[in-house]
Each structure stands twice: as structure tokens, then as C-alpha cells.
Amino acid sequence: MAKNKIRFQKRLFFKNQLKEKNLYFGKFSDRDKSYEQLMFLQEADNLFSQRKNLDAFEKFLLFITDNKNENVRFKKDKKIEFDIVQGSKIISGYTDGKIIKAETELFSFDEDIPQLYQILLEQTHNLKFTKFLVNKNVISAQISLYLDYCTVDLLYYSLRELSVISDKLDDYLELQFKNLRPLNKSHIIQMPDNEFDVKTKYLKKWLAKSLELSKKLDNANFADAKSFILISTIYRILYLIVPEGELDDMLKDLEKFFFESQKSTVEKNKIIEEKLKNVLEWDNQRLKKSLYKVIRTFPEKMPSKTKETISFIQQEIGKIYWYESNKFEEISRYILEYIAGYIDAHFGNIPVLNDLFLIFWQVMYKDYFNDLGINRLPYEKNSISYFLLHKNFSIINSTARENYPRFFFNVKHLDLKDKYSFAKTFFQEILNIDFN
């Protein structure tokens, strides 16, 4: 395999727990694999080295298959035909052992749209494997590879690129060009009514509360504090509500605007406030177009080094202390949530870190998880439970030590008197962990 291969690890406890209720939080990651999946990857690697390409590709498909989600379907005879589900798109393809072709239809249209063609040309220029095709007024994305020159890594990266860009681009283009007709979306899963009701309730509750707090702060003297409140709320919605479609695109665009715009902090805050305020006016029909369920096979973000995550925490956590010492503890709490949200949005973390942060969000937003029907939370009545946290962290510690022999999250270092104290000491303890 290539030297820059992706490191996969065995699946941890908490992800399986959520699957029982068909719930997921945060950015999709495929870095946690079952032992069986890891063996399929090794077999595929060995078979490619022996030029047994058809068998190798079959093992590769088994490696990326999550049987519970049925994200991959294929049949093998003299060739392999396959479908891979990635969000709002299904990638269909085949291989005869010599070449592999994979394609997904994006849109159909009636009249030429020069601006659309320009966007597709720019996208193609920035991609390594994927090209866009226009045939009989249908736009599709495609890859084509010779298997004799393939490794499992090359297969992974090329299929991931095709899948991720197709999933992201169709929502974006649908909002930009109203005369496009989306294709290949019949597999999208409608969100159950009770889950939709809970998510819309908390979406609007969190937006209203954050906007109210931001409005109370002076624009000039507390511009940075307002930014932490607004961006932290965006991250919380992305992690806990997990929107798709228009809402997902809008929130990510606002976050990108904040970090990349040359406008002053005050100006950026005003623009973001107006955009978020507008979401409060969305009716259920509009929200349903952004609150639905999808299955994914590949992650949007590639894996990052854990030291990058640790470095970010060290860089940001010091910002809480001025607000804390000046009796603005609520703003300090927003900063800590901002750190957690940024990490999920920007880093491809190892499974153990994803599990740690899931516990963080469960403690911080117990009522939300309860309303979704998740009752096994680290609480006894309304108090954070040392006993239940110890039980959860013990599971994480024992599993993590298979890959990190000196890993230990010490629950005794947590201050459980309130949520803010927990959050602060949670991050301090992460900084104590040996991830070597």
C-alpha cells in the first residue's frame, strides 16, 4: 500500500449505541472500522499485488460496506456492478478487472446555462480524478481508472472524490440555478416526525437564545464575544442537528465568510446575525428540505493528525479566562463549545476523540438527547454523574489502549459541579492525554 495510507481503527462502543436509534451526530467519519472490514482491506491489498484485480475490487467493496446501513450493493460474475450511496447521490459503476468506471447523474435541464458550465470547468480543474459530462441535457460526474495501476489507496481516494464532490455540488447548484432538475435522489430517507419536531424546536430555541444574548452585547467592546456566540451556535447546529441541503450550505457558508472575509468583525457579526435571524422565519416545509436522513460511505474531511487537534485546543482555551474572571462565564462556555464544534468541522479525528466529544455534547445538552429518546446519559436526575462518566470513560480508555498504550482519560480530574466547570476541565484533561 502507499506510504500515505489512511489509518483505520476498530469501531468503538458509542457509535453502535447510536445506531440502535438510527441517530448520528457530527461530521461523518469512516475511520472506525470493524475487525472484519480491516481484514477485507488487507486482502484487497494483497490481491492487487498479485494482479487478481476483480477479487481485489470485491474485497475493497466489502471493506467500505456497512452492512447495517446498506451503503454498498454489488453483484459479481465475469464483472462487478456496484452502487455506492453517498448522501444525496448514488454512485453506480462496473469493472471487468481491467478498468473501473463509476458515474452519478446530477441534473437535467432544458436550456444551456453558460454560468453553470463555467462552474463545472473550474471544479474539474481542481479535481484529480473526477470529470463532469453533459450528455442529452443531463449533467453527470465520472471517474475511469485502469485497475492494473491501482492500489487500495488510489481506489479509495478516487471513489471518495467522486462521491463527496457529487454529494456537495448537487445541493449547491440546485440553490444557484432554479431551472435545474435534480436527479438520483429517490433514496433520501425522510426524517421521522418526532425527530423532525425535536430538531426544529431546538434549532429555533438555540438560535433565538444566542441572537438575544448577542444583541445585549456592545458591538464595539464585545465584538469578539459576539463572534464566539454566533459561530459556536452554527457549530452546535451542525453537530447536533446535522442539517443537509440549504441549511447546511448556508451555515457552512457563514462560517467560511467569517474566517475569510476582509470586513471588520462588527460588520461580519451583523451579517451573520441577519442570516441566522432569517432562519427563525423558515416554515416546516422549507425546513423539511434540510432535515432529512442520508447514508454516507466516505468522509467529507480527510484524516488529520491528532497533534493538530491538541494544538488548536491549546491555542484557543486561554480565551475563556478573561471572560471568566470578569463574570462573563456564559461567554466562556460558548468559547468552549466553539472549540468542540470547530474541531468536528475542520479535523478528521481518530475514533477515540469522536467518542470523547460525543460525551461532551451529551453532558452539555442532556435535554436535547433525552427528547430524541437517548436516555443512557451520564446523569443521575439533574446532576452530572461521576459513576456513569467513569463507566463511559473506562470503556473508551480500554478500547483506546489497543492503539495508544498510554492513553488515559482520568475522570477524577473533572469538576462536575456544573456544565461550565465540566467543559473546562474536560478540555484540560484532553490536553493531559498521551496519544503516542
Give the per-residue pLDDT at 152: 94
Give the per-residue pLDDT at 11: 45
Give the per-residue pLDDT at 18: 64
Give the per-residue pLDDT at 4: 44
Give the per-residue pLDDT at 298: 94
Could you tell me which CATH number the domain at 190-293 has?
A: 1.20.120
- Tell me the whole-structure pTM to 2 decimals: 0.91
8 A C-beta contact, residue 248 and residue 313? no
Residues 348-388: pLDDT tens digits? 888 899 999 999 999 999 999 999 999 889 999 889 999 99
Sequence spans of domains, the chain? 20-28+299-436, 32-182, 190-293
Rounded Cα distance, 184 and 186, in Å: 6
Could you tell me which CATH number the domain at 32-182 has?
A: 3.30.1460.10
The three grid cell numbers given for residue 244, joined into one nine-digit string? 443537509
Give the per-residue pLDDT at 2: 42
Per-residue pLDDT of the chain (436 residues; tens, 9 = 90+): 344 455 555 545 455 556 656 788 999 888 778 889 989 999 999 999 999 999 999 999 999 998 878 899 999 999 999 999 999 899 999 999 999 999 999 999 988 888 888 988 888 888 999 999 988 889 999 999 999 988 999 999 999 999 999 998 887 888 888 888 888 777 888 999 999 999 999 999 999 999 999 999 998 899 999 999 999 999 999 999 999 989 999 999 999 999 999 999 999 999 999 999 999 999 999 999 999 999 999 998 888 889 999 999 999 999 999 999 999 999 999 999 999 999 999 998 888 999 999 999 999 999 999 999 998 899 998 899 999 999 999 999 998 998 899 999 999 999 999 999 999 999 999 999 999 9
Residues 381-393: pLDDT tens digits? 889 999 999 999 9
